[in-house]
Amino acid sequence: MNISNTKIDPISILKTQKLSGSYLDTDETTGVSDRLTISDRASAIQAAKQHISKLPCVRADKVDAFRNMVTDGSYKTSPHDVASAIFDAAGNSGKAIED
């Protein structure tokens, strides 16, 4: 898409207009109309991005729960499970770990 010889900045339009719908501008000197239409899918993506940006980066409730379990000694895990999780996260099957 190439936008040239226009007085309309597409980025500023996207920032100032509603998320869904159309924008129509007519240049008074030439009578030429420019139209920008934002699809419903693009609107949904933008709304999802805005919602996600408002979520906390850290789930404090989960962190606090694990902190309490570690502190009171109720959090138990096996070294084998930890090693397997590390290998799985690295993309290995964990088969090299022996019981």
The pLDDT assigned to 33 comes to 74
According to the model, what pLDDT value does residue 19 have? 47
**Exposure on the CB side of residue 70, measured as CA atoms within 13 A:** 6
Which positions ≥6 away from 26 have C-beta within 8 Å?
32, 33, 34
The DSSP 8-state label assigned to residue 54 in this structure reads: T
Residue 15 pLDDT > 90: no
Domain ranges of the chain: 10-53
Q: Tens digits of per-residue pLDDT, 16-34?
A: 554 445 555 666 666 677 7
- State the number of CA atoms in the 13 A half-sphere of 65 facing the CB: 5
Q: What would the pLDDT profile of 27-81 be if each residue is shown by its tens digit?
A: 666 667 777 778 889 889 999 999 988 888 888 899 999 999 999 999 888 999 9
